[in-house]
Amino acid sequence: MPMIRIPRDHWDEVWFALVSSGPISRVSEKPTYFVTDRQVRMLRRKKLPFQLITDSKNHIGGNKHASTRPTI
């Protein structure tokens, strides 16, 4: 399941697009969320800013090894 980070400056716009498209799960105190592949495609199609977070262990505990790839 993809994990994304929403930039604070655009949080409201991205958040409303996500919740209108289906369920999301908050991962931490930071604006980091689990979303579906469909929601990632929707954010890209609408050109909304977010960072797709990739984690080689595919879980939150491995965050120190996580890398981020900005997606615009």
The CA-CA-CA angle for residues 17, 44, 55, to 5°, reads 95
pTM score, two decimals?
0.70
Compute the Cα dihedral for 71, 68, 57, 16 and give only its sign.
Answer: negative
- Which pLDDT tens digit goes with each residue over 12-47? 999 999 999 988 888 888 889 999 999 999 999 999
In whole angstroms, give the CA distance from residue 17 to residue 11. Answer: 10
Number of compact structural domains in the chain:
1
pLDDT at 30: 83
Please give the residue range of the domain that contains residue 47: 3-71
Residue type, 2: P
Q: 37-45 vs 11-21: helix axis angle to the nearest 10?
A: 130
